[in-house]
Amino acid sequence: MDAFLFIVFTFVLSFQTHFAQGSELPRTTSSSKTYIIHVKGPQDKSLDQTEDLESWYHSFMPPTIMSSEEQPRMIYSYLNVMSGFAARLTEEELIAVEKKDGFISARPERILHRQTTNTPQFLGLQKQTGLWKESNFGKGIIIGVLDTGITPGHPSFSDAGMSPPPPKWKGRCEINVTACNNKLIGVRTFNHVAKLIKGAEAAIDDFGHGTHTASTAAGAFVDHAEVLGNAEGTASGIAPYAHLAIYRVCSKVCRESDILAALDAAVEDGVDVLSISLGSKRAKPFFDHGIAIGTFAAMQKGIFVSCAAGNDGPLPGSVINGAPWILTVGASNINRSIAATAKLGNGQEFDGESIFQPSDFSPTLLPLAYAGMNGKQEDAFCGNGSLNDIDFRGKVVLCEKGGGIEKIAKGKEVKRAGGAAMILMNDEKSGFSLNIDVHVLPTTHVSYDAGLKIKAYIYSTATPTATILFKGTIIGNSLAPVVTSFSGRGPSLPSPGILKPDIIGPGLNILAAWPFPLNNNTASKSTFNIMSGTSMSCPHLSGVAALLKSSHPHWSPAAIKSAIMTSADIISHERKHIVGETLQPADVFATGYKDTEVEIIAGRTIKCSETSSIREGELNYPSFSVVLDSPQTFTRTVTNVGEANSSYVVTVSAPDGVDVKVQPNKLYFSEANQKETYSVTFSRIELDDETVKYVQGFLQWVSAKHTVRSPISISFV
């Protein structure tokens, strides 16, 4: 399998624009955008008049701007709320501003407006340009989804404007035939429990998970989507004109035999992409893993496979579905929040989130109490019947996440005890990752750090008070994407020589289609819900793969996978390193077999003694994962899928304590589809901290138009 130099213009530009610029910004020209610029106050403290401050702010602007007769480029001078100003600048002009004495920071302005399922926009997908347009929104591609079924008739599965499935399609509709259409072209059930209970309607989703993931991958455009009045806007999947083939394999559990049967059927039916948001609790050897086995065969048939990386992070080695032929997808947040702020009696405020935002909840301060005030740690988790020892009536109650108790159940206990509202604090491992729910009473879910400070305030005064300020939907988290706490981390235990997960995608608080109304409005057919997990990030990348397959129908699964991995960026909207749940930089983990065991995977007779073998690191993979005890050299073969007469020069960001040499350091392609090979030698050098076990870096090939990046992970023996 070749790694590919990715020369698909629109896809590269989409991802680079997404990370560099974020959402579309107002008051901009084609070459400039509006920045919020923070500066130090003037050295002369007597400059406190409006004109003096404005003059100070103007001194940061390049002289050519201030002397220009065009529309003023300084939009606002802030006099009270911050020391700084807003200005419309090009990137070159911003660089000039940054060099001035007194400059602190600058970022693109955030946009606050009502919008839902904004992950297509977050990923840089626009209706009129780029990959969406060039792929015709995934037209003609069939995405197979293995999950809990589907909700026919939901607006997300409308076939308005869609063409019939391609002639190769051989699948069938096993429910009421009128429920299928040009969007929902196949529905089949492989879950025996569902068949037994529901008969002909066995594929109808009674859990919601399958409906949510299917609409994330390929849901149609739906106007006025929202959840309890929040995140309102137009919902769509990543590949809205792709066809969907649904394979129900799960009820409360998902049996491996059902999964293999569904994979078998999907290959026969003619799907192009498989989206599998399922997995075991722990990684298994590939020969002992049904999904790995089934998807290896699918890959050989030219089917691209995307799988969830698992939800047992942030523990090292928690990644699942890590076979090299699978795109293993971790989870990040997006730049949208549904804000609910905990305000304390001492004036402190802590931003949190909540889907349920009652309009009639008063901002008046109420008594605040900690559920564990009686000294029993188990009561702090607000389990059923735990709030009996203290009078919580009319109070805001601080509860802790964990204890094996569902978050919604904690709110039910607070409500049962007469509490007026709940502040739910994360546990330590969840850090700043806030996966929100539809609670039964006014609630805000806050970080672990915020929870500790709220708890300290409670113990600091005899009469602690608090309230919750519900602020609705906000777009503009410049830190995004942040790796979530639950996202499965590497290294891959069955295959440490392959760096996993391959990529992260939006997986925290994702709005998508849902079978049931959340507010008992049973007349509504346009129902949506917000869910979190790598189950949500996986279909995002399934949709991206469908777009690429539609644009490049002859690309192999390996080519599509390499294109996705090598074009993804490693910086946030704020152009800083992507961070994890602790808001510290995330590492690349965030992001021999017997004959018979290999035969299980390959599906044919194998004699390892008669077959040449290579180390895992020698697989032609878009990343490097190296156990370094002595100098090691690896080779990679890349293919130019773009224009002829193009050249790439290598640059290296070497891991600490490692010398990296690349030969040759320049690749020249005289024609399209030409292959070239390069080698990389890793050698250990002195490291300041000899206790460090893992270090990371990357190498990238840079042309006049494109940057192709390969992550590097080094483990020291």
What residues are annotated to the active site?
147, 209, 535
Residue 384 CA to residue 378 CA, distance in Å, equals: 11
HSE (side-chain half, CA atoms, 13 Å) at 333: 27
Give the DSSP H/E element, type plus range, for residue 97: helix 91-98
Is the C-alpha dihedral spanning 359, 363, 367, 371 positive or negative?
Answer: positive
Give the DSSP H/E element, type plus range, for residue 541: helix 534-551
Q: Kindly state the tokens that stand for 390.
A: 């203290």
3-state secondary structure 261-289: HHHHHHHHHCCCEEEECCCCCCCCCHHHC
**Parallel, antiparallel or unpaired: strands 327-332 and 304-308:** parallel
Residue 128, beta-bridge partner list:
none
Residue 144 CA to residue 266 CA, distance in Å, equals: 7
Residue 11 CA to residue 133 CA, distance in Å, equals: 11
Among 204, 173, 203, 205, smallest CA distance to 189 is for 203
CB 509, CB 602: distance < 8 Å: no
Among 103, 451, 143, smallest CA distance to 305 is for 143
Residue 333 Cα to chain centre, angstroms: 5
Residue 476 Cα to chain centre, angstroms: 16
Residue 316 CA to residue 490 CA, distance in Å, equals: 6
Contacts of 536 by beta carbon, 8 Å cutoff, 6+ apart:
212, 213, 216, 277, 331, 506, 507, 508, 510, 512
Q: Kindly state the tokens that stand for 679.
A: 């080698």
Backbone angles phi, psi at 236, to 5 degrees: -160, 155
Backbone angles phi, psi at 510, to 5 degrees: -95, 125
The structure tokens 């996986």 sit at 538
Q: What is the CA radius of gyration of the chain?
A: 27
Is the C-alpha dihedral spanning 590, 478, 218, 558 positive or negative?
Answer: negative
Amino acid at 292: A
Residue 226 CA to residue 487 CA, distance in Å, equals: 26
Backbone angles phi, psi at 177, to 5 degrees: -60, -25
Task: Bin 394: left if φ > 0, else alpha if -120 < ψ < 50, else beta.
Answer: left
CB 580, CB 586: distance < 8 Å: yes
| Number of neighbours of residue 376 by Cβ within 10 angstroms | 12
